[in-house]
Structures are given as C-alpha cells and as structure tokens.
C-alpha cells in the first residue's frame, strides 16, 4: 500500500499547471499537499484519481501506474473524498454510500447483504447511521461530507485521496472528517487549506507554489513563517501546538506588525 507521484507534470488546455512533482506516500502514512489557491494541489490529486492525465511522469499505486489500471481496479484501490457535495438527483443516504460498491459488483449483480453490511459499518464509522434513510439533499454541509467519507470507506480501498475535504465545514466537522480517516491505518494523501489542521494530522507535507514543489518534509520543517511568507505572501506567526508541538499559524494585523517588531 503506497502512492508514489514521480516526476509528474500535468497540462490542462495546453497550459502547464504542475511540473516535476515527486511525492511519496508510504503505507499507512498521512501526507499533506499544501499551497495557495491555484498552486496546483487539486490538479495533482485529480491526476491520482484519474480525472487528469499526466503529460510527463506518472502516478503509481503499489508500483502500478494508475493510468494503466482498469477503471474498476483503480476504484478498488483508491477512494476519494472531494469538496463537491452538490447533488442534482437526490439519493437516500444509504443509496449514496452504496454507490461505493460499484467497483466490487458485476453488471447485473444485485446488492447483497454483504454490501449493506459494508454500508452500515461505514456509516457507523462516521457516526451517521441514524441518517441512513434520509434524503442526501436534506442534510447539512457537515453531514453531507461525513456521508461522503462513509462512501469512500465503503469502497474498501487501501488508499484515500482527500481533495480539500474540509472546505466550507465548521470547525467540529473539519477535525471530525480528518479524525475518521486518520485513525484507520489507511494510506492517505490530502490537499488541505488549513495549515494548522495539516500540521496536526500529517506525517509529512509538501508545499506548492506556482505548480512546483517549494518545500517538503515534516510539518515542523515546512510550516515556518519564512516558508509561509514565500509561498502565500502572508505575514504570520508560527507557534507550537500546546498539546502536540505541531506548528500552528496565527494571523497578524498589518497595523501591529511594525510596532511589535516580531520576526
């Protein structure tokens, strides 16, 4: 179980979006991809889950090129939680999670008890069993995202791609989503907007600017005031988390920067 992004470049509409990306996600680790808007985080992740195709280099799961895999095989190995929770055609929560069984089912095969067991376990894991019969449309944003995490779990893949899964969520659901995924021994690669959350959950992070890797390493190595300044152009303070020591970002007001003179 591992994901390996090797010398990856991706062009979209004739424009190079990311270049020469190398990211290793060893078995059971939680790796973060960070960077400002438009730096190419989603482009890399979408190449991992086969929405984009590489222009050079490639993406490998367990040393097989993901773009060489049969689509269903890829679906059995990699599951995805993205930030898009909109639906045009409403489904019940159970039906929504049941979609995850696609890669495990034959053409005319019916849903079996085992499928419903997997769905129930997945909904249990995200604490949403009570929503089973509800319409997905009627759920709150946080509940929707938890159900989509359940769907990814029900796919029973060893690798999970989190494509900015905590955007638009309140603080409780943000950590809930990451807690559920992090606690299961899965091999995870996540694009995250919130650097503090990234520092808390990731074993290793990669900071992107302008489609290139700017810095890679442990959160403590990468999430520093200088790197944040260089990548985001933002002046921040970085302090250790009182419980874990992981770097946490504190924003600053422009008016106070000169008078306090903190580096």
**Angle, CA 204 vertex, CA 78 and CA 68 arms, to 5°:** 30
Minimum distance, C-beta of residue 73 to another protein, in the bound complex (Å) = 8
Write the interaction track for another protein spanning residues 3-42; mark x where CB under 8 A is met and - where it is not.
Answer: ----------x-----------------------------
- DSSP-derived letter for residue 39 is S
Of 20 and 84, CB closest to another protein: 84
**Is residue 200 a contact residue for another protein (CB under 8 A)?**
no
CA distance 100 to 251: 40
Of 95 and 235, CB closest to another protein: 95
Of 72 and 229, CB closest to another protein: 72
CA distance 260 to 263: 9
| Contacts of another protein in 72-101 (CB under 8 A) | 72-76, 78-80, 82, 84, 86-92, 95-96, 99-101
| Contacts of another protein in 37-66 (CB under 8 A) | 46, 49-51
Of 3 and 225, CB closest to another protein: 3
How is residue 44 written in tokens?
Answer: 């890399």
In this structure, the number of other CB atoms found within 10 A of the CB of residue 261 comes to: 7
Minimum distance, C-beta of residue 71 to another protein, in the bound complex (Å) = 4
Minimum distance, C-beta of residue 196 to another protein, in the bound complex (Å) = 27
Q: Which helix (H) or strand (E) holds 251?
A: strand 247-251
Give every CB contact of residue 122 below 8 A, 6+ residues apart in sequence. 97, 100, 150, 151, 153, 154
- Taking each helix axis from N to C end, the angle separating 141-154 and 113-125, rounded to the nearest 10 degrees, works out to 130
Alpha-carbon dihedral sign for residues 20, 55, 187, 198: positive
In this structure, the number of other CB atoms found within 10 A of the CB of residue 66 comes to: 23
| Contacts of another protein in 132-171 (CB under 8 A) | 133, 135, 155, 161
Question: Judged by CB under 8 A, how many residues of this single chain contact another protein?
Answer: 37
Residue ranges binding another protein (CB under 8 A): 13, 46, 49-51, 71-76, 78-80, 82, 84, 86-92, 95-96, 99-103, 105, 107-108, 133, 135, 155, 161
């Amino acid at each position: 179980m591992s994901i390996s992004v090797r010398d990856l470049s991706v062009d979209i509409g004739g424009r190079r979006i990311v270049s020469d990306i190398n990211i290793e996600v060893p078995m059971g680790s939680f790796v973060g991809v960070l960077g400002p808007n438009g730096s190419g985080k989603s482009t890399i992740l979408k190449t991992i889950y086969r929405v984009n195709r590489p222009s050079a280099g490639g993406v490998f799961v367990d040393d097989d090129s993901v773009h060489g895999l049969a689509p269903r095989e890829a679906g059995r190995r990699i599951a995805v939680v993205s930030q898009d929770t909109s639906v045009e055609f409403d489904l019940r929560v159970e039906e929504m999670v049941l979609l995850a069984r696609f890669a495990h089912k034959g053409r005319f095969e019916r849903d079996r008890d085992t499928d419903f067991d997997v769905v129930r376990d997945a909904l249990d894991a995200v604490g949403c069993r009570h929503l089973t019969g509800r319409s997905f449309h009627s759920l709150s944003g946080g509940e929707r995202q938890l159900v989509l995490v359940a769907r990814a779990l029900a796919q029973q893949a060893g690798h999970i791609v989190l494509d900015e899964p905590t955007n638009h969520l309140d603080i409780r659901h943000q950590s809930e989503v990451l807690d559920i995924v992090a606690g299961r021994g899965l091999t995870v690669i996540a694009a995250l907007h919130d650097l503090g959350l990234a520092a808390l959950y990731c074993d290793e992070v990669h900071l992107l600017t302008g489609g290139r890797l700017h810095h890679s390493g442990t959160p403590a190595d990468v999430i520093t005031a200088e790197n944040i300044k260089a990548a985001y152009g933002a002046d921040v303070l970085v302090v250790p988390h009182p419980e874990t020591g992981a770097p946490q970002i504190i924003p600053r007001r422009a008016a106070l920067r000169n008078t306090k003179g903190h580096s």
